[in-house]
């Protein structure tokens, strides 16, 4: 028997095992997926919980119910991979041997990495919504907040779902208007980027939406620490941004066991070939989803498209043939903008988000880089699609590779002029 072990049973890991179980003969392959617990969380739902749109129980399902028969689910904290011995050690002392390993342990918010973030104001006036507990706690704080400075802050890029902080800000603006208290609140967006987003056309569009909503932007802000006493963000260049309520996106990092195993970069992401997702060092290890260092957005949609390319490549690889599929970095993200509307962006390693229609030219029904009701409904429908289509590994009628059909191009937006690869990792190729 050959053994495939998948580390992480989140978005990417669940899709991988469910799809590969159908392709790898049961008499020849054992498939095991490891995760620390039995709760699978629908992370895009964290955006909506603070505003009461989703209840906590709507974003969690038992992991074992999402994993197909014939796959072993092992619950335990991963401690270390030994890539030479091809073993995975769990913290409880168990060891799993593998022939092939997929690392799909994602990325996590790390408030412990910024001085003062976990200080006495943590979960009093300093919150995050990138974790289930954080999002739940923020719901309470936001309901009580009725005047002052509400600051939304990104610690450092890359973060998963790089548009989520903007979405949160737009939703907060609408939420405060609905409650009739928008004029009593100063809404501030603090970012390490020089604009609203990294990519020029989307950044201009999203930046003007912030301006229209009278949201102040503090760009190029590299936070050094949070001053709990003064209730202020302090940057390395000694700027201070005071807050009454801070919603921060902590530094995002890959899993610590990746570093302990000598498999990661400085943020614990696994270096892989960006087209095949194969480790640059071990031809028995792949990394999928947020865990890899590919220069694409860290998003569920990217995980989904990459998994589709990976499946056929994996079958070729284990048969000793060259891998023929090449992932193009395709990302497709809805951007909630408040008042029951949203935008859609569709891009890849080489092409930045452009205006137009999606998926069918002229018809849509989705509009790219434009606020519409259809886009908002698409975002809400995604939760059902996630549980019922994506995770079970059923086909979704969307192109795996980004298509230019329906997109409106200008000379300035041609692929060579706009390296979209910087969407989530500005410092990568
Ligand atoms: C607020 C928010 C909004 C988002 N909105 C969107 C959106 O609208 N669209 C979109 O496409 N994406 C969105 N995302 C991003 C999306 O959720 C992630 O990109 C996606 O889940 C990545 O999948 P993954 O499998 O790589 O990681 P995950 O789904 O995070 O899975 C990783 C798994 O590994 C496990 N794990 C980690 N370390 C260990 C260990 N040491 N031992 C055992 N198990 C371990 C974890 O428990 C987890 O189950 C959003 C994310 C957030 C936080």
Percentage of the residues of the chain whose pLDDT score is greater than 90: 90
Does the beta carbon of 168 sit less than 6 angstroms from any atom of ligand 1?
no
Does the beta carbon of 158 sit less than 6 angstroms from any atom of ligand 1?
no
Under 8 Å between Cβ of 420 and 328: no
- Could you read off the pLDDT of 324-372 as tens digits, one per residue? 999 999 999 999 999 999 999 999 999 999 999 999 888 889 999 999 9
Query: In sequence order, what are the residues at sequence separation of 6 or more whose Cβ sits closer than 8 angstroms to the Cβ of residue 373?
Result: 340, 341
Query: In sequence order, what are the residues at sequence separation of 6 or more whose Cβ sits closer than 8 angstroms to the Cβ of residue 380?
Result: none
Mean pLDDT value of segment 163-167: 97
- Could you read off the pLDDT of 1-46 as tens digits, one per residue? 999 999 999 999 999 999 999 999 999 999 999 999 999 999 999 9
Please give the mean pLDDT across all residues of the chain.
Answer: 94
pTM: 0.95
So what's the pLDDT on residue 311? 98
Which H or E run includes 326?
none
Query: In sequence order, what are the residues at sequence separation of 6 or more whose Cβ sits closer than 8 angstroms to the Cβ of residue 110?
Result: 250, 251, 252, 253
Mean pLDDT value of segment 227-243: 98
Under 8 Å between Cβ of 128 and 121: no
Alpha carbons 157 and 279: distance in angstroms, whole number: 22
So what's the pLDDT on residue 413? 55
The rounded Å distance from CA 335 to ligand 1 centre is 18
Alpha carbons 267 and 400: distance in angstroms, whole number: 28
Does the beta carbon of 297 sit less than 6 angstroms from any atom of ligand 1?
no
Alpha carbons 51 and 336: distance in angstroms, whole number: 13
pLDDT at 224 over 80: yes
pLDDT at 429 over 50: no
Looking at the CA of residue 168, tell me the nearest atom of ligand 1: 1
The rounded Å distance from CA 372 to ligand 1 centre is 27
pLDDT at 416 over 90: no
pLDDT at 421 over 90: no
So what's the pLDDT on residue 360? 87
Does the beta carbon of 336 sit less than 6 angstroms from any atom of ligand 1?
no
Name the one residue in this structure whose structure tokens are 């990302």: 331
Lateral strand order in the sheet of 95-97: 78-82, 87-90, 95-97
Residue 309 backbone dihedrals phi, psi, to 5 degrees: -70, -40
- Residue 421: is it exposed, middle or buried by C-beta count within 10 angstroms (0-12/13-18/19+)? buried
Does the beta carbon of 9 sit less than 6 angstroms from any atom of ligand 1?
yes
pLDDT at 266 over 80: yes
> Pairing state of beta strands 185-190 and 216-218?
parallel
Tell me the residue ranges of DSSP E strands in 255-408.
Answer: 285-287, 331-338, 341-347, 356-360, 364-368
Half-sphere exposure of 42 (CA within 13 A, CB side): 26
Alpha carbons 241 and 220: distance in angstroms, whole number: 13
Alpha carbons 323 and 273: distance in angstroms, whole number: 12
So what's the pLDDT on residue 419? 40
Under 8 Å between Cβ of 223 and 114: yes
- Around Cβ 137, how many Cβ atoms within 10 Å? 19
Half-sphere exposure of 228 (CA within 13 A, CB side): 13
- Could you read off the pLDDT of 41-82 as tens digits, one per residue? 999 999 999 999 999 999 999 999 999 999 999 999 999 999
Query: In sequence order, what are the residues at sequence separation of 6 or more whose Cβ sits closer than 8 angstroms to the Cβ of residue 180?
Result: none
Alpha carbons 392 and 22: distance in angstroms, whole number: 11
pLDDT at 401 over 50: yes
| 3 state SS of 411 | helix
Could you tell me the pLDDT band of residue 398, with boundaries at 50, 70 and 90? confident
Under 8 Å between Cβ of 40 and 15: no
pLDDT at 425 over 50: no
Mean pLDDT value of segment 78-93: 98
* Ligand 1 pocket, mutate which of 60, 161, 389 (most atoms under 8 A from CB): 161
So what's the pLDDT on residue 362? 87
Nearest CA to ligand 1 atom 20: 300
So what's the pLDDT on residue 198? 81
Under 8 Å between Cβ of 104 and 291: yes
- Residue 154 Cα distances to 15, 54, 412, angstroms: 29, 23, 28
Does the beta carbon of 35 sit less than 6 angstroms from any atom of ligand 1?
yes
So what's the pLDDT on residue 411? 58
- Around Cβ 246, how many Cβ atoms within 10 Å? 25
- Bridge partners of 2, per DSSP, are 29
Residue 129 backbone dihedrals phi, psi, to 5 degrees: -120, 15
Mean pLDDT value of segment 387-395: 96
């Amino acid at each position: 028997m050959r053994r495939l072990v998948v580390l992480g049973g989140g978005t990417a890991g669940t899709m991988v095992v469910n799809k590969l179980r159908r392709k790898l003969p049961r008499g020849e392959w054992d498939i095991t997926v490891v995760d620390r617990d039995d709760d699978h969380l629908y992370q895009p739902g964290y955006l909506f919980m603070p505003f009461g749109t989703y209840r906590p129980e709507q974003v969690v399902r038992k992991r074992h119910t999402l994993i197909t028969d014939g796959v072993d689910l092992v619950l335990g904290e991963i401690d270390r991979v030994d890539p030479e011995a091809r073993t995975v050690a769990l913290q409880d002392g168990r060891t799993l041997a593998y022939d092939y390993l997929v690392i799909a342990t994602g990325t996590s918010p790390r408030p412990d990495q910024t001085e003062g973030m976990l200080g006495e104001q943590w979960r009093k006036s300093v919150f995050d919504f990138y974790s289930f507990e954080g999002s739940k706690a923020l719901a309470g704080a936001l309901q009580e907040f009725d005047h002052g400075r509400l600051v939304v802050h990104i610690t450092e890029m890359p973060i998963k779902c790089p548009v989520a902080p903007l979405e949160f800000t737009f939703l907060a603006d609408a939420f405060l208007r609905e409650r009739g208290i928008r004029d009593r609140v100063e809404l501030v967006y603090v970012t390490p980027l020089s604009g609203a987003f990294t990519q020029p056309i989307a950044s201009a569009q999203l930046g003007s939406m912030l301006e229209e909503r009278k949201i102040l932007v503090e760009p190029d802000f590299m936070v050094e620490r949070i001053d709990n006493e003064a209730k202020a963000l302090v940057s390395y260049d000694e700027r201070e941004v005071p807050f009454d309520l801070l919603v921060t996106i902590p530094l995002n990092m890959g899993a610590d066991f990746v570093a302990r195993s000598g498999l990661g970069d400085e943020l614990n992401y696994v270096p892989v070939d960006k087209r095949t997702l194969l480790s640059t060092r071990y031809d028995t290890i792949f990394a999928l989803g947020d865990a890899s260092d590919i220069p694409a957005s860290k998003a569920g949609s990217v995980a989904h498209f990459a998994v589709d390319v990976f499946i056929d490549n994996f079958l070729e690889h284990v048969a000793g043939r060259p891998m023929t599929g090449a992932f193009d970095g395709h990302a497709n993200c809805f951007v909630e903008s408040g008042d029951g509307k949203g935008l859609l962006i569709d891009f890849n390693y080489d092409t930045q988000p452009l205006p137009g229609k999606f998926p069918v030219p002229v018809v849509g029904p989705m509009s790219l880089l434009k606020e519409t009701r259809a886009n908002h409904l698409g975002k809400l429908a995604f939760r059902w699609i996630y549980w019922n289509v994506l995770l079970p590994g059923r086909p979704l009628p969307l192109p795996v590779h980004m298509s230019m059909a329906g997109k409106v191009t200008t000379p300035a937006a041609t692929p060579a002029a706009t390296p979209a690869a910087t969407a989530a990792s500005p410092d990568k190729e």
